[in-house]
């Protein structure tokens, strides 16, 4: 066993152990590490935001793209929410963000998530797999028909749709477990291999 | 009234319609305007990063004031927050100090928090994951097969789990997920349309 | 009280300890189980192999620090393959931690003699999610007049060859979901559907299932999901890294969870079988 002498490794390991200590019992060590993490994360977001603002808005504006003063002022208006008298001003930049976001997302969603997916389903049904995909899509879509009462046929198809969705959720569950365990593996590698020098 | 209610609706409508028209039609005026709108949007969004930071400062300074300086957690949070900003802004993001905060505080703690779920899943697997009906049985069988098929040892113990995992992911899962995706997209488009045409104003603080 | 009831009432910390041991022991004493290459990962590898030498790709570092263990190994494995074909790389990020991760992963390229600004560029972070990605796809210079290190984009030779998303021979997103940044659906919309740029995804396990329809429909060339995919890719490229090292612990932990699920359901079955016997054993028992 060769314990690391790097102060950073010690801090990283103790931070991870602080978080894991909550598994034993909620304790001040965990709460302190959690708060330090939130402070560091928020700080990093602000630093990155400042850097991005300087690179992509302030510098270009000073170098001649003077129109950028408008979005800069609109961005500042976002902070009017903290002042009661002028809080309504933050609706203006928000409406800009929401309108643009909705427009951009909507124009692409039709093609990628509806047309693209439907055309991939409507293929020659010559194999067992293609039938399963076709039926699975139809049945799971029928589960979301909420504008009329379910009859005998739609009752059966929507129930089968539920089964297909449960299979999809099971696949998602299996992969989620894999992802979370990977995160734990990463921390354990850090603690046991890098910090304690075992293995 | 105009500035508070009507102007935001007009802005959302103009921005949304412009970017949609620019996507489908090659009209130079709309192309240029849409590009400018998207650029402005990216600048405004940068300021949104600061909103979370201000909230944190407000909440935790109130904690410190109310506890008359005894709230060690809030003090630690604010100190870390300020130190990170000072290091990042004045020493730069390529400095050793900034990388230290990132590599030895932010990443280990963030990963550890994400990984806590792995332990909770372990307990829940025994106590709660019960095949009480057909849906739960299907979910558990597919979940367990995928878990086994994704690891070398699982493939050795149950060789069938590997092709089963591939089939579940690329056939069974696609059938179920596709219906969800299409239905979700229809709902998403409906909400986006309502925002653009001004029927949904709660998204930007309207009624 | 039988064994199953005792297990049901067992302190949850015992389960936590078993999980911890299942991960810790194989980490300290690896078993060395071989990782087999799956079809889905091989398809991604072969697609990247088919890219012309010297072409340019864009890679989005769209994840938070918590998913670094899943996605950094995938990034590094892909970079080894791209560098072996001298494919040039542009990185962007929709999460604040992204540019730093990109910098760390791009260090690999130095061993291949890559030069910053000529062979690779880290453009940095962009705020605003999908609309900003759309602006980048239309004209990268409008979103990134300067790169992450403050260099004007006009001084970077690589960026003179990129006027829109069409100029990239491939896009890749390393993604853990849209919350706080740009998700996989957004990349499909803005890169694939709008410009026809082929897309591959490196995702955490959570997103693997929900993005599979894009692979089946051809809108995505392939998905690399989690540490397992990283391990397989490392085997294909011959550059063993953290992906492979973690597979043993992953195996034991998965087996443990499947074991818990089976045990819990056996307990449920046993109690169901015992129930009618218990009822008949009590004359004048309470009506159910």
The confidence score (pLDDT) of residue C287 equals 44
Q: Which residues does chain A have within 8 Å of residue B169's beta carbon, measured at their own beta carbons?
A: 171
Q: Which residues does chain B have within 8 Å of residue C139's beta carbon, measured at their own beta carbons?
A: 35
Q: Which of C209, C260, C262 shows the shortest C-beta gap to B177?
A: C209
Kindly list the strands in the beta sheet with C222-225, ordered across the sheet, starting from the edge strand earlier in the chain.
Answer: C120-125, C88-93, C56-62, C170-175, C199-203, C222-225
Q: Would you say C141 and C153 are in contact if contact means Cβ atoms under 8 Å apart?
A: yes
Inspect the interface and report whether the beta carbons of B129 and C96 lie closer than 8 Å: no
B28 touches chain A (CB under 8 A): no
User: DSSP letter at B193?
Assistant: H
The confidence score (pLDDT) of residue C286 equals 42
Domain boundaries in chain C? 39-245
pLDDT at residue C283 greater than cutoff 50: no
- Spatial CA neighbour of B141 closest among A132, C256, C228, A174: A174
The confidence score (pLDDT) of residue B47 equals 94
Burial class (CB in 10 A: 0-12, 13-18, 19+), C88: buried
Share of chain A above pLDDT 90, in %: 75
Size of interface B-C (CB pairs under 8 A): 176
What residues contact C189, with CB distance under 8 A and at least 6 apart? Answer: A105, A108, A109, A111, A112, C130
Q: Hey, what CATH class is C39-245 in?
A: alpha beta
Q: pLDDT of A148-191, one tens digit each?
A: 777 888 889 889 999 999 999 999 999 999 999 999 999 999 99
- Token code pair at residue C50: 């088919």
Question: C225 forms bridges with which residues in the sheet?
Answer: C203
The confidence score (pLDDT) of residue B134 equals 93
Q: pLDDT of A13-61, one tens digit each?
A: 999 999 999 999 999 999 999 999 999 999 999 999 999 999 999 999 9
Q: Which residues does chain C have within 8 Å of residue B143's beta carbon, measured at their own beta carbons?
A: 261
Residue with tokens 């990984």: B115
Q: Would you say B128 and B136 are in contact if contact means Cβ atoms under 8 Å apart?
A: no
Q: pLDDT of A98-131, one tens digit each?
A: 999 999 998 889 989 999 999 999 888 899 999 9
Radius of gyration of chain C (CA): 24
Q: Which residue of A has its CA nearest to B88?
A: A47
Domain boundaries in chain B? 137-195
Q: pLDDT of C19-60, one tens digit each?
A: 999 999 999 998 888 888 999 999 999 999 999 999 999 999
Mean pLDDT of C243-251: 87
The confidence score (pLDDT) of residue C285 equals 42
Burial class (CB in 10 A: 0-12, 13-18, 19+), C117: middle
Which range among A63-72, B63-72, C122-131, C245-254 shows the weakest confidence by mean pLDDT?
A: B63-72
pLDDT at residue C180 greater than cutoff 60: yes
C43 touches chain B (CB under 8 A): no
pLDDT at residue C282 greater than cutoff 60: no
Residue ranges of alpha helices (H) inside chain C are 3-8, 12-28, 39-49, 68-84, 98-106, 130-138, 140-143, 184-187, 194-195, 205-216, 226-237, 242-245, 247-281
Mean pLDDT of C75-93: 95
Chains that touch C (3 or more CB pairs under 8 A): A, B
Q: Would you say B40 and B55 are in contact if contact means Cβ atoms under 8 Å apart?
A: no
Q: Indicate the average pLDDT of chain C.
A: 90
- Token code pair at residue B97: 């100090």
Q: Which residues does chain A have within 8 Å of residue B135's beta carbon, measured at their own beta carbons?
A: 162-163, 166
- Spatial CA neighbour of B119 closest among A67, C19, C235: C19
Q: Which of C99, C131, C254 shows the shortest C-beta gap to B41?
A: C131
What three-state secondary structure class fits B205? Answer: coil
Distance (Å, rounded) from C-alpha C26 to C-alpha A192?
Answer: 11
Share of chain C above pLDDT 70, in %: 94
Read off φ and ψ for residue A178, nearest 5 degrees: -60, -45
C24 touches chain B (CB under 8 A): no
Q: Which residue of B has its CA nearest to A12?
A: B104
For residue B162, the distance in angstroms to the closest alpha carbon of chain A comes to: 13
- Token code pair at residue B166: 């591939």
Could you read off the pLDDT tens digit of each residue along chain B, which spans 207 residues?
A: 788 888 999 999 999 999 999 999 999 999 999 999 999 999 999 999 899 899 999 999 998 988 876 689 999 999 999 999 999 999 998 899 999 999 999 999 999 999 999 999 888 888 888 888 999 999 999 999 999 999 988 888 999 999 999 999 999 999 999 999 999 999 999 999 999 988 887 877 666
Q: Which residues does chain A have within 8 Å of residue B179's beta carbon, measured at their own beta carbons?
A: 136-141, 143-144, 161, 164-165
Mean pLDDT of C148-174: 95
- With b for 16 or more beta-carbon neighbours within 10 A and e for fewer, the B54-69 pattern comes to eebeeebeebbeeeee
Q: Would you say A175 and C205 are in contact if contact means Cβ atoms under 8 Å apart?
A: yes
pLDDT class for C281, splitting at 50, 70, 90?
very low
Read off φ and ψ for residue A24, nearest 5 degrees: -80, -50
pTM score of the predicted model: 0.92
Q: Which residues does chain A have within 8 Å of residue C148's beta carbon, measured at their own beta carbons?
A: 51, 55
Helical packing angle, C226-237 and A152-188, nearest 10°: 60
Read off φ and ψ for residue C264, nearest 5 degrees: -65, -40
How far is residue C110 from each of residues B58, B71, B149, C145, C218, measured CA to CA in Å? 45, 47, 36, 25, 34
pLDDT at residue A132 greater than cutoff 70: yes
For residue C53, the distance in angstroms to the closest alpha carbon of chain B comes to: 31
Mean pLDDT of C107-126: 94
């Amino acid at each position: 066993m060769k314990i690391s002498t790097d102060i950073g490794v010690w801090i990283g390991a103790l931070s991870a152990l602080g978080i894991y200590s909550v598994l034993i019992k909620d304790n001040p060590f965990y709460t302190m590490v959690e708060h330090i993490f939130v402070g560091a994360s928020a700080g990093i977001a602000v630093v990155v935001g400042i850097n991005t603002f300087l690179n992509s808005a302030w510098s270009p504006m000073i170098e001649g793209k003077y129109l950028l003063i408008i979005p800069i002022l609109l961005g500042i208006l976002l902070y009017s929410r903290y002042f009661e008298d002028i809080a309504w001003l933050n609706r203006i930049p928000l409406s800009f963000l929401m309108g643009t976001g909705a427009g951009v997302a909507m124009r692409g969603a039709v093609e990628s998530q509806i047309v693209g997916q439907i055309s991939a389903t409507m293929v020659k049904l010559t194999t067992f797999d293609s039938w399963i995909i076709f039926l699975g899509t139809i049945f799971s879509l029928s589960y979301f028909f909420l504008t009329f009462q379910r009859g005998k046929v739609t009752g059966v198809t929507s129930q089968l749709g539920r089964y297909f969705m449960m299979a999809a959720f099971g696949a998602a569950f299996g992969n989620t477990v894999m992802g979370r365990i990977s995160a734990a593996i990463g921390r354990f590698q850090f603690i046991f291999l890098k910090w304690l020098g075992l293995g | 009234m105009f500035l508070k209610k009507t102007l935001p609706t007009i802005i959302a409508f103009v921005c949304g319609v412009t970017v949609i028209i620019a996507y489908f039609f090659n009209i130079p005026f709309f192309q240029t305007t849409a590009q400018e709108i998207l650029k402005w949007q990216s600048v405004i969004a940068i300021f949104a990063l600061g909103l979370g930071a201000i909230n944190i400062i407000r909440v935790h300074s109130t904690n410190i004031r109310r506890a008359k300086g005894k709230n060690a957690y809030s003090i630690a949070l604010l100190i870390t927050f300020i130190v990170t900003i000072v290091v990042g802004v004045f020493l730069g993001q390529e400095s050793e100090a900034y990388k230290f905060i990132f590599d030895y505080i932010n990443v280990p703690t963030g990963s550890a928090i994400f990984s806590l779920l792995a332990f909770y899943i372990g307990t829940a697997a025994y106590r709660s994951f019960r095949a009480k009906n057909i849906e739960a049985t299907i979910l558990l069988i597919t979940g367990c097969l995928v878990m086994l098929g994704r690891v070398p040892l699982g493939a050795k113990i149950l060789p069938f789990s590997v092709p089963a995992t591939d089939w579940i992911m690329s056939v069974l899962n696609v059938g179920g997920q596709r219906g969800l995706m299409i239905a979700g997209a229809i709902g998403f488009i409906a909400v986006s349309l309502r925002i653009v045409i001004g029927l949904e104003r709660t998204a930007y603080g309207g009624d | 009280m039988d064994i199953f009831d005792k297990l049901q009432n067992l302190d949850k910390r015992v389960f936590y300890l078993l999980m911890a041991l299942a991960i810790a022991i194989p980490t300290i004493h690896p078993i060395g189980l071989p990782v087999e290459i799956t079809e889905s990962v091989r398809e991604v590898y072969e697609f990247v192999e088919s890219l012309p030498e010297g072409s340019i790709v864009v890679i989005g570092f769209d994840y938070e620090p918590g998913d670094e263990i899943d996605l950094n190994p995938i990034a590094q494995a892909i970079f080894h393959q791209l560098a072996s074909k001298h494919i040039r790389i542009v990185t962007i990020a929709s999460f604040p931690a992204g540019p730093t991760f990109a910098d760390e992963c791009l260090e690999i390229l130095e061993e291949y003699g890559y030069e910053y600004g000529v062979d690779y560029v880290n453009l940095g972070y962009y705020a605003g999610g999908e609309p900003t990605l759309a602006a980048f796809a239309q004209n990268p210079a409008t979103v990134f007049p300067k790169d992450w290190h403050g260099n004007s984009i006009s001084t970077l030779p690589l960026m003179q060859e990129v006027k829109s998303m069409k100029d990239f021979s491939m896009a890749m997103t390393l993604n853990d979901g849209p919350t706080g940044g740009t998700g996989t659906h957004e990349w499909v919309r803005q890169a694939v559907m709008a410009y026809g740029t082929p897309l591959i995804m490196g995702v955490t396990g959570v997103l693997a299932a929900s993005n599979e329809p894009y692979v089946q429909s051809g809108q995505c060339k392939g998905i690399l999901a989690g540490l397992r995919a990283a391990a397989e890719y490392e085997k294909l490229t011959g550059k063993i890294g953290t992906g492979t090292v973690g597979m043993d612990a992953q195996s034991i932990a998965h087996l443990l969870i499947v074991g818990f699920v089976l045990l819990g359901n056996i307990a449920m079955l046993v109690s169901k079988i015992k129930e009618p016997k218990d009822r008949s054993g009590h004359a004048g028992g309470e009506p159910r």
